Amino acid sequence: MKSKYFVLMAIFLCSGILLMANGEGEASGQTNSIEFWAYQPERNEIELMSAIENFEVLSGFDVNVTFIPKSDYNTKLNASIAAEMMPDVAYLDQPLVPRYAKDGILLNLEEFANGENGIDRTLYYPGAMATNEVDGELYGLPLNQTCVALIYNKDLVPQAPDTWKDWLNIARDVYVPGEIAAFETPNGDGWGAWLFPAFVASAGGSLVNEDETVVTIGEQPAIDALNLWLELAKYSDQEVKDSGNAFNLGMIATKVSGPWELQNMNINFPDLNYGIALIPRLEDGGIHASNIGGENMVVFNSTQKGAAAWALIKYLTYSSDTSLLMAKSSGNFPALLEAGQTPQFQQDENMRVFMEQMETAQPRPRIASWLKINDEVVAKALAQALLGEMSAEEALTLADQKANMILQRDR
CATH code for the structural domain at 2-146+292-362: 3.40.190.10
Q: Which tens digit of pLDDT belongs to each residue from 11-45?
A: 443 344 444 434 454 434 456 899 999 999 877 78
- Report the pLDDT value the prediction gives residue 5, as an integer from 0 to 100: 37
Taking the CA atoms of 328, 329, 330 and 335 in sequence, report the sign of the dihedral they define: negative
Closest residue by Cα to residue 300 from 75, 109, 38, 61: 109
Helix count and strand count (H, E) for the chain: 19, 12
- Helix/strand/coil for 306: helix
pLDDT at 210 over 60: yes
pLDDT of residue 286: 83
Residue 377 has pLDDT above 90, yes or no: yes
- Mean of pLDDT values over 40-63: 88
Average pLDDT rounded to a whole number, residues 311-326: 93
pLDDT for 359-376, tens place per residue? 999 999 999 999 999 999
Ranking 178-187, 218-227, 326-335 by mean pLDDT, the lowest is: 326-335
For the ranges 36-50, 103-117, 249-263, the lowest mean pLDDT is seen at 36-50
User: Considering only CA atoms, which of 138, 92, 134, 141 is closest in space to residue 114?
Assistant: 138
pLDDT more than 90, % of the chain: 81
Domain-wise residue ranges, the chain: 2-146+292-362, 147-291+367-410
* Reduced 3-state DSSP string for 373-404: HHHHHHHHHHHHHHCCCCCHHHHHHHHHHHHH
What's residue 262's pLDDT? 93
Q: Of all residues in the chain, what percent are helix, strand and coil, respectively (each to 5)?
A: 45, 15, 35
pLDDT of residue 30: 54
Instruction: Report pLDDT for 29.
Output: 42
CATH topology of domain 147-291+367-410: D-Maltodextrin-Binding Protein; domain 2 (3.40.190)
Question: With 60 as the cut, is the pLDDT of residue 261 above it?
Answer: yes
| Average pLDDT estimate for 380-404 | 97
Q: Which of 15-19, 116-120, 148-152 has the lowest mean pLDDT?
A: 15-19
Assess whether pLDDT exceeds 90 at residue 173: yes
In the three-class reduction of DSSP (H, G, I as helix; E, B as strand; rest coil), residue 370 is classed as helix
CA dist 138 and 364 (Å) reads 16
Mean pLDDT of 211-240: 96
Q: What is the dihedral of CA 104, 107, 108, 110, to 10 degrees?
A: 180
Give the chain's mean pLDDT.
90
The 10 Å Cβ neighbour count of residue 359 is: 16
Q: What is the mean pLDDT of residues 113-126?
A: 95
